[in-house]
Amino acid sequence: MKVLITGAAGFIGSHLAEKLSLFGYEVWGIDNYSSYYSPSLKKANTNLLNQKDVQVINGDLRDPKLYQNLPLNFQFIFHLAAHPGNDINSSYDDYFSNNLDATKLLTDFAQKNKVLKHFFYISTSSVYGLNATYSEEQVPQPISWYGISKLAAEQLVLSKARNNSFNASSLRLYSVYGPRERPDKLFSKLIHCSINHLPFTLYHGSEKHIRSFTYIDDITQGIYQALKNFSKVNGEIINLGCEEEFSTREGISLVENITGKKIELIDLPARPGDQLHTRAITNKAALLLDYKPVTSLKDGVKYQLDWYISESRDSEALRPNAIEQGD
């Protein structure tokens, strides 16, 4: 089975590529090594994938020429490439060109794949808005360019299922963490700051924000179960995440307890677009996919810390600038 994974050099994409390759799929990846965070970290992910027989094409999904050189016999497409987070330094165009315009070209390409069985769009709890504590029937009310652009792209993909162009579904993920997590995200930064005795910057009020933190293996397993059950999920939106919830404060204390090192906090002014509360309601995933995350936050953060210590990646590339609480 031949599968295409966009954003394969990124955090979740690289884990998914590794897993599907392990299970015998012929995996093709695409990534443009965007500078949202250090491309050297993405190159390191690609090197790892190359050792596992996964090639990642260096290409930009916004470039129409990219598609001329791609084969037209993919059976499954997983679309993870995106401009992520709720980043004050990113422009409207960064979000809408990478998240929406790129998805338009990719769906045009997907339509030409006559053997395509299913297109999986990887969406986010951010589409729900300030509070993401709902089942999939809730009317989305995104509050950031990220959330709005991801919702628009999700609906573009689902419209293809609605008008029978190809089968598709959307998987909405919740605060994913673990080895290779994006360096702008909570546990990456906490671990980095704790180990290196660096201050940790926090947007005002975010200590009280609540998240459904979900370990990376529980996410790739959920995506894999969606693949195995693709015939049941055409046109569906499915939340994938851990139902247990923790505040940012609890996350900070957990890292301090595991490393045995106190973290100095620096308060920045509050930032618009941050979600207050996310909690994955996963009854639908349990019903359709038999989905059940198994990793506790304590274990997952320990695995991430072990990876961080063993990997000692480019420390300049990992250096945090400001706390990112978005997906």
Positions marked active-site: 146
Residues with Cβ within 8 Å of residue 174, at least 6 apart in sequence: 125, 132, 211, 212, 213, 214, 239, 240, 241, 242, 278, 279, 280, 327
Choose among 58, 70, 69: nearest CA to 32. 58
Minimum CB separation from ligand NAD for residue 264, in Å?
25
The span from the CA of 194 to the CA of 196, in Å, is 6
Minimum CB separation from ligand NAD for residue 262, in Å?
26
The pair of three-digit structure tokens given for residue 88, joined into one six-digit string: 């004050």
The pair of three-digit structure tokens given for residue 109, joined into one six-digit string: 């390409």
Q: Which is nearer to ligand NAD, 267 or 314 (CB)?
A: 314
Choose among 157, 160, 153, 167: nearest CA to 117. 167
* SS3 state at 7: coil
Under the binding rule (CB under 6 A), the answer on residue 279 touching ligand NAD is: no
Binding mask 225-254 for ligand NAD (x = CB under 6 A): ------------------------------
Q: Which of 3, 11, 278, 324 binds ligand NAD (CB under 6 A)?
A: 11
Under the binding rule (CB under 6 A), the answer on residue 61 touching ligand NAD is: yes
From the list 6-14, 223-231, 278-286, 294-302, the region that binds ligand NAD by CB under 6 A is 6-14
The pair of three-digit structure tokens given for residue 138, joined into one six-digit string: 């809730």
Under the binding rule (CB under 6 A), the answer on residue 222 touching ligand NAD is: no
From the list 78-86, 196-204, 270-278, 293-301, the region that binds ligand NAD by CB under 6 A is 78-86
Residue 4's beta-bridge partner residues? 28, 77
Burial 89-112 (b: 16+ CB within 10 A, else e): ebeeebbbbbbbebbebbbebbee
Under the binding rule (CB under 6 A), the answer on residue 7 touching ligand NAD is: yes
Count of residues in contact with ligand NAD, rule CB under 6 A: 32
Under the binding rule (CB under 6 A), the answer on residue 82 touching ligand NAD is: yes
Binding mask 128-167 for ligand NAD (x = CB under 6 A): ----------------------x-----------------
**Count of residues making up the chain:** 327
Torsion from C-alpha of 264, 324, 236, 129, nearest 10 degrees: 100
* Strand intervals (E) in 281-324: none
Minimum CB separation from ligand NAD for residue 14, in Å?
8
Minimum CB separation from ligand NAD for residue 141, in Å?
17
85: left (phi over 0), alpha (psi -120 to 50) or beta: left
From the list 80-88, 134-142, 257-265, 273-281, the region that binds ligand NAD by CB under 6 A is 80-88
Q: Which is nearer to ligand NAD, 1 or 44 (CB)?
A: 44
Minimum CB separation from ligand NAD for residue 299, in Å?
18
Binding mask 17-56 for ligand NAD (x = CB under 6 A): -------------xxxxx-x-----x--------------
Q: How far is CA 217 from CA 90, 214, 246, 292, in A?
A: 29, 9, 19, 11
The span from the CA of 119 to the CA of 112, in Å, is 12
Minimum CB separation from ligand NAD for residue 161, in Å?
18
Residues that bind ligand NAD (CB under 6 A): 6-7, 9-13, 30-34, 36, 42, 60-62, 80-84, 98, 102, 122, 124, 150, 173, 175-176, 182, 327
